[in-house]
Amino acid sequence: MPFRKPGDEGTRPTDVTETLVARGTAGAVAVAWDADQAVTALYSANYRSLVRLAAMLVRDAGTAEEVVQDAFVAMHGGWRRLRDPDKALSYLRQSVVNRSRSVLRHRAVVEKYAPKGLPDAPSAEAGAIGELERSAVIDALSRLPARQREALVLRYYADLSEAEIANTMGISRGAVKSHTARGMTALRNVLEQFS
Report pLDDT digits (tens) over 14-45. 333 333 333 343 333 333 458 899 999 999 99
Domain ranges of the chain: 33-113, 134-194
Provide the pLDDT for residue 195.
66
CATH architecture of 134-194: Orthogonal Bundle (1.10)
Mean pLDDT computed over 80-84: 87
* Average pLDDT in the chain: 81
Is pLDDT above 50 for 118? yes
At residue 145, the 3 state secondary structure works out as: coil
Quick check: pTM over 0.85? no
Q: Is the dihedral of CA 40, 45, 47, 48 positive or negative?
A: positive
Percent of the chain with pLDDT over 90: 50
* Inter-CA distances, 48 with 64, 65, 68, 134, 140, Å: 10, 9, 9, 65, 74
CB of 68 closer than 8 Å to CB of 54? yes
Task: Give the lowest-confidence range in 55-59, 98-102, 129-133, 159-163.
Answer: 129-133
Provide the pLDDT for residue 37.
92
Provide the pLDDT for residue 156.
87
Provide the pLDDT for residue 64.
96
Mean pLDDT computed over 185-194: 86
Mean pLDDT computed over 84-90: 88
- For 128-181, how does the pLDDT look when each residue is reduced to its tens digit (9 = 90+)? 777 877 888 888 888 889 899 899 988 988 889 999 999 999 999 999 999 999
Max distance between CA atoms of the chain, in angstroms, equals: 112
> How many other β-carbons are positioned within 10 Å of the β-carbon of residue 161?
12
